[in-house]
Structures are given as C-alpha cells and as structure tokens.
Amino acid sequence: MNSVQIQCTRCKAMFRDRAGRLQDGYSRQCPCCEVVLFFAEDSQHPFIKRAMRNARKVRKELREAEAGRLSAAPEPQAAPRSRSSTGRTRAQGRAE
Ligand SMILES: [Zn+2]
C-alpha cells in the first residue's frame, strides 16, 4: 500500500493519494468540495499534519522494504534524532 488517507479540511471527506506525492509544498483539490488543500510540513491543521505524517511513514516503509530486498539484514530501527541546541534560534521562514 503506497497511498495514504487524506481528510478534507473543509467538507471532511476522506480520499486517498500517493504517499510519494504528499510532500512539503504539495497541493491538491478535494474531489468532493473542490477546495485546494495545501500540504506543508509546518501546517497547523490536524488533518494535514496527520496526512503528512502518514505519508512520511509510508515512504519510510517503502524505502525499508526496498533496502530489505537488496540487503539481507534490514536495519532494526532508525537512529534517534539528537536535538542539537544550536538549531533553536533558526528562523522558521515567513508565514504569510
Ligand atoms: Zn472537501
């Protein structure tokens, strides 16, 4: 399964789209009410956040499945990301 479920932020309709497309900056129209949904990593909307998170998970699983086919020993888990204190004051980019 390489598609993820998306819920429209306006009409709440559920539909699916490919995880490979659902990345930061992607936008698509709801098939039900035709509102354009924007998918951004810094989105505050829970439906968008959930879709982005699911898409990331699916892409990761696909990558791991690929890797598993190539190398006999798949990695048990991704290394935990270390929180560096130097990145704290980085500008978030303009939200307009
Ligand atoms: Zn809709």
The model's pLDDT over 20-61, given as tens digits with 9 standing for 90+, comes to: 999 999 999 999 999 999 999 999 999 999 999 999 999 999
Output the pLDDT for position 95.
52
Look at residue 23 and tell me if it is in a domain: yes
User: How far are the Cα atoms of 11, 21, 51, 54 from residue 58, in angstroms, in the given order?
Assistant: 25, 11, 10, 6
List the domain range (segments joined by +) for residue 29: 3-68
Look at residue 74 and tell me if it is in a domain: no
One-letter amino acid at 80 equals P
Quote the tokens at residue 62. Answer: 């696909």
Tally of structural domains, the chain: 1
Look at residue 78 and tell me if it is in a domain: no
Look at residue 73 and tell me if it is in a domain: no
Look at residue 56 and tell me if it is in a domain: yes
Look at residue 32 and tell me if it is in a domain: yes
Task: State the distance from the centre of ligand 1 to the C-alpha of 42, rounded, in angstroms.
Answer: 21
Task: State the distance from the centre of ligand 1 to the C-alpha of 7, rounded, in angstroms.
Answer: 8
Look at residue 8 and tell me if it is in a domain: yes
Output the pLDDT for position 15.
97
Look at residue 58 and tell me if it is in a domain: yes
Task: State the distance from the centre of ligand 1 to the C-alpha of 48, rounded, in angstroms.
Answer: 13
The model's pLDDT over 69-90, given as tens digits with 9 standing for 90+, comes to: 887 655 566 667 766 655 555 5
Task: State the distance from the centre of ligand 1 to the C-alpha of 6, rounded, in angstroms.
Answer: 10
pTM above 0.75, yes or no: no
Task: State the distance from the centre of ligand 1 to the C-alpha of 37, rounded, in angstroms.
Answer: 9
